[in-house]
Amino acid sequence: MSQEERHPEHTQLLVILAERVLRSGRSMEDLEAAMGLEAGALSDILAGRMDLAVDHLSLLAGTVGFEVVEVILEARVRMAVYGDQAPVVLMTFEDLQALVRTVVREEMAGRAGIGR
């Protein structure tokens, strides 16, 4: 299914799952191994390049520690509150990770320079 054909609630579900993965603090590789997925599969799922199956959702929920119904309801609530203006991820998970790493490095380098 292309992103143009995807229902907005499905997109919100992917956004919420990506947020849960990020908050877990675990690497994509670690999560994929724990879920029994091939390398890159979780990134592909979260980016919408690979279809999200119920099995993926259940495995991710058990691995990261949330209830499936919880994220589905959260997606529905976001759509009810925001409609088509609901927040979406504008970059891939890997791009977001790289951005966060860069910002953290710059912040830490700046703080290290303060004490000199």
CATH code for the domain defined by 8-89: 1.10.260.40
The overall pTM is greater than 0.85: no
Contacts of 18 (CB under 8 A, 6+ apart): 46, 89, 93
Q: pLDDT by residue (tens digit) across 15-60?
A: 899 989 988 889 889 999 999 999 999 999 998 899 999 999 999 9
2 has a pLDDT exceeding 50: no
Are 64 and 35 in contact by the 8 Å Cβ rule? The answer is: no
Q: Any idea what DSSP says for residue 85?
A: G
Both structure tokens of 111: 């703080």
Q: pLDDT by residue (tens digit) across 67-82?
A: 999 999 988 888 888 8
Q: What are the domain boundaries of the chain? A: 8-89
